[in-house]
Chain A
Amino acid sequence: MSQYMLMFVGNDEWFEAQSKETLDKAMGGIMAWWDDLEKKGVIKGGEQLARQRTATSVKRVKGQMKVSDGPFIESKESVGGYALIEVEDLDKAIAIAKSWPGGDVEVRPVVEH
């Protein structure tokens, strides 16, 4: 078995343009998906992140750590949440990412320590 990180792509603008009803419905679908995979032992951990515009970034510039408001990479989209999963191989991880009820997903293998 191997661990993979599913990084769910979030978009503040999209999120804020939706009605509460639409978001509640989407969240319901995500919760059902999550609970099922957690029960099966596939999901080992994960969280939903607050919106990108609430981020604080700390970056090394000429040896000094500089603090700034906002995300590290300026982009409309960023990580909105993640799930750490344990499955047989990358194909299985991709299949699970495809079944995610939300939007786009980046799948990354985890470094085993």
Chain B
Amino acid sequence: MSDVIPPRQDGPQAPSESGPQIGVDEWVARRQGRLAAPTTMAGRAQQQLTRVPQWVLLVGFVAVVALIPVVTSDEYVLRVTADTMLYALLAMGLNVAVGWAGILDLGYIAFYGFAAYLFAELSSPHYGLHWPTWASVPVVIVATIILGFLLALPTRRLSGDYLAIVTLFFGVIFVTFVTQGYRWDWLGFGGTHDITGGPNGLTQIDPWRIFGYELTKVRDYIWVEVAGFLIVALVLAFANHSRTGRAWRSLRDDTLAAEVMSMPVNRLMLLAVAVGAGVAGFAGAINGAYYQGVFPSSFGFATLITVYAMVILGGAGSLPGVVAGAILINVLLEVLRDPDHARWVFYVLVFGFIVAKIRPWRVLGAVLGGLVVFGLVVNAIVGAVWPRGTAGPISTGVFEFTTNGWLAAALRHWLVLPKDTYEVADYQISNVAFVILICLVLALTVVQGWWRYVLLVPTIWTAAFVWETHLIEEAPTTRPLLLGVILIVLMAVRPQGLFGTPRVEVV
């Protein structure tokens, strides 16, 4: 009885060797069809990108960045390039824990800060230590890896929300420590001692010195970052396609199954955090020397969120993705500094969103037409009743105005621009308009059907009004606001990030 296998009956048709083509294959075929002929622009771009071997992308990218200092000597462009590359390194490091191992590590920025501070301690007049670069940089990286291990030890059994809270706590405690570290008192024995320089940070940090050549110019650091980027990207890509990388991705998908399939989950989590910390350590050592100073505020919550945004926007888990995210966000943040550029970003974004989201076409036409007419009518009425209300200039930042450009000219006929936004009455108008805008946006989420389109017209017009009379002048507040909007829009359009692959949680 035992070994007898029941004879195959002539019931339902026996499976052929290639297997019956039931259900799934249709689904696969449809998905592959979509991949073969993507409909969205991002999809098409991604398709083109996946055809190119990754090493070609890497070499091309590295070559282009390395040539930037040769092509231009514009200090501003060089600084933005150097900052962006630093962020790209950070994003790749964060991607190890967040993108591959699926660990929500909010303490990451503390590794970066720790490395920058350690480098500063080792190579500044603060302790009079002036270690050579070949010694200080490896020491910083190794120390940061060890810190990564130590911080991951108490958290390795946590997951999800709990892990996020505890790691966030580490990040916060680091900033507190360096801010208060100028009066460290050794448990009350032996008076206070200045370790971190407190809120003023540590300055006069030695530059890197490689083969007797002192790196003092921005372009030197760009090349250091490019070389570092090349090494880090290769090493991480190799790690990802090894047994360890597969194990990381396994435990991200199903921790229990990974454990049962012979992977030591706890150890692998420690390893992921430590490898990420190593990359952050390298970036931190560059940071200290490049800015010639380290300050508590550089390693706070804002930086953490920026790096996270880069990883998520670019597509967590994809190396080219997170690098693209770093470039996009850092360059965008720079562009938004200048009101003239920020204005273009704003209107292109608004226009793009309307065109992308509103269907059918006749409704889209009606909304756009309605917008133009609404603006012109309001402009005409206000102009007739209160001439000063439309006589204002187009702002290009604090106390700078322009009347040039077709966009500016169009806006003058479409919007209401009080003559002087610094006069109390006019300032109040834009404040009130801001409150009205918030009410309109809230109303927009409540109303249904075609009322929504009707309401959309004054909402957008009010947004433009508030933008021109108020927000554009306050770049520091507007930048994160606009960045948030861009993130929301992109996440709505492509939840998996620019280059990420859509992830399935439960099927």
Partners in one complex: no
